[in-house]
Chain A
């Protein structure tokens, strides 16, 4: 049994909204009862639409946002570890590399600043570590004196990755790492992440709305909808034997756009507001299989196969009914 690097227990995050007159204060239900276990060296994919709480979960794990209730523990550090200690354990890569770098600092200065913050090494050692980190992501020393504005998105995302790895973290959280990049560049960044993951034995959480990205990188995948995990399983299990109507709809939408067919009309409407999540199953207003039971009773995550959990009353019928028009995954 490999060691558990990250344990999230029943994490809840509700953001309060400004009070409207004398009415009760309302909350955005970003996370509701998230449980996660991530092992050292494991790549965990997190999929969901905007507003599903993926990025909030990342922020909660990194201690950037305090939880409303529930526990997060990374690498046995306990509930509220000192920030610097946490930074050495877990690092984050954002979607837009131009927004993640200081535009007025050279890339060399930005990277050296990280080591200086943590009082690692002397001047020479820092310079060595920085150029080694750049070399690892495929950039040479000429980048040390460049400014972020002089780099393309793909080059800069490499620098962001190099910076995240400078402190030798055990967990790397990638929040939509390639969504802002062109197709030809996206593939190269994904290849790089995969190579670095193997070389460093990193655990990674890959957050994406793109199922293909998660399929390429992930060992295990969780699908989120309105602040809850609705399905979680090993990668191949999710892609080949998924049982939640929402996961099936995401897969069908993705499959249609790669085969050139019109996407099937399995899901209607848009995700409802996380301020007033629907009663019962949160997916019921959009679900083609919804019954009165779904409106009244919230389904629990239940294990239907080893390591495969689904939050749906009708998981047994979902796959046979909804997957019929799905094109074979090739």
Chain B
């Protein structure tokens, strides 16, 4: 299968070097018509990873990578002018707060029409017609009337449908969806997830789906990459990662997100805090919070060095090769 997106050894620095790396050693590949979910808690670096692909990191953050290509385009060497063509064109984007992302001063129809005129060279009349088709296509009721609405007149779910229409207007090869359903109600969330899955199948685009919610991810992802403290700690096919997680952090995260009481009647949780992980300079970054059973030999390895992420289809950054039981939290 041809690779659509290849990322090798991506890092995000907090400023001019030498600076702290808040994303480090991230390597990803995505095939065509594939949904890769980046999962992690807040501060794990999942959004920064996505934003560095489209060169939208806020100052003073800087990104660097060994390889960063989309199709045949080298995103590392692309000029700012050609990045303008790529954002909204080959790479579409969706965000958590659709109403904040839409321009409040122009109609939503104009915002869907813009990429049509810009990337597909349509004239005004053709773009207007295509806009209404696109809005109808993503399930906006009464598209002719809705095209003349402003962002504040739409509900959250409708605004996200409009954002999807605007993203699809550029005929993207890759859609970056950063927590696209987090601000929506559950019944609407289900509708938006169904819509994204249908569009993926219909148009053959790939989706980089960023979420903190494993439940949401499980219903849409083909593959999952779990991030912790700026690293990918586990990566593999969605079914395998969810049912046979190998990294203790992934296991704990899954157990937590089920919100299912354990034998003691308490919910499972991960002891300690993630905010200290960036200060760990040697060994595994999850070590202070890890509850997996270690023998002395492995314990020594955990402190000495950070395990590398193998290249096989389901890989994990953990010295414990075999899946083990998570201990009950104290």
Contact = CB atoms under 8 A, between A and B. Distances in A.
Interface stretch (B23-31, B68-76, B189-197): B189-197
Interface stretch (A187-195, A307-315, A318-326): A187-195
B267 A257 contact: no
A260 B189 contact: no
A184 B186 contact: no
B186 A250 contact: yes
B187 A250 contact: yes
A296 interface: no
A216 B259 contact: yes
Interface in B38-72: 41-42
Contacts of B253: 183-184
B187 A256 contact: no
B257 A183 contact: yes
Sorting the interface of chain B by its residue count into under 10, 10 to 19, 20 to 34 or 35 or more gives 35 or more
A96 B264 CA distance: 29
A95 B265 CA distance: 24
B259 A263 contact: no
B185 A257 contact: no
Secondary structure at the A interface, as helix, strand, loop or mixed, is helix
A256 B41 CA distance: 21
Contacts of A186: 256, 259
B189 A258 contact: no
Nearest to B257: A183
Contacts of A183: 41, 212-214, 253, 256-257
Nearest to A264: B190
A260 B259 contact: no
Contacts of A184: 41, 252-253, 256, 269-270, 274
Contacts, number: 101
Most buried by A among B212, B219, B269, B274: B269
B212 A212 contact: no
B155 interface: yes
A263 B185 contact: no
A270 B158 contact: yes
Nearest to B40: A182
Interface in A221-280: 249-250, 253-254, 256-263, 265, 267-271
A263 B267 contact: no
A156 interface: no
Nearest to A50: B185
Interface residues of A, number: 38
Contacts of B158: 270
Nearest to B197: A262
Interface in A170-196: 182-188, 190-191, 194
A291 interface: no
B157 interface: yes
A267 B189 CA distance: 11
B218 interface: yes
Contact of A253 (B141, B187, B218): B187
A137 interface: no
Contacts of B187: 49, 249-250, 253, 267, 270
A39 to B, nearest CB: 22
A262 B269 contact: no
Contact of A257 (B42, B219, B256, B261): B219
B186 A49 contact: yes
B259 A187 contact: yes
Contact of A263 (B141, B157, B193, B274): B193
B216 interface: yes
Nearest to B141: A269
B212 A182 contact: yes
Contacts of B197: 262
B321 to A, nearest CB: 24
Given A184-B252, A256-B190, A257-B186, 4 more contacts: A183-B253, A184-B274, A210-B259, A257-B218
29 contacts: A49-B185, A50-B185, A152-B275, A183-B41, A183-B214, A184-B41, A186-B259, A187-B259, A187-B267, A187-B268, A190-B259, A191-B266, A209-B186, A212-B258, A212-B259, A215-B259, A253-B186, A254-B186, A256-B190, A257-B190, A258-B215, A263-B193, A263-B219, A265-B194, A268-B191, A269-B141, A270-B157, A270-B158, A270-B187
8 tightest CB-CB pairs across the interface, nearest first?
A263-B190, A257-B215, A260-B218, A184-B270, A49-B185, A187-B269, A187-B267, A182-B41
Interface of A: 49-50, 152, 154, 182-188, 190-191, 194, 209-210, 212-213, 215-216, 249-250, 253-254, 256-263, 265, 267-271
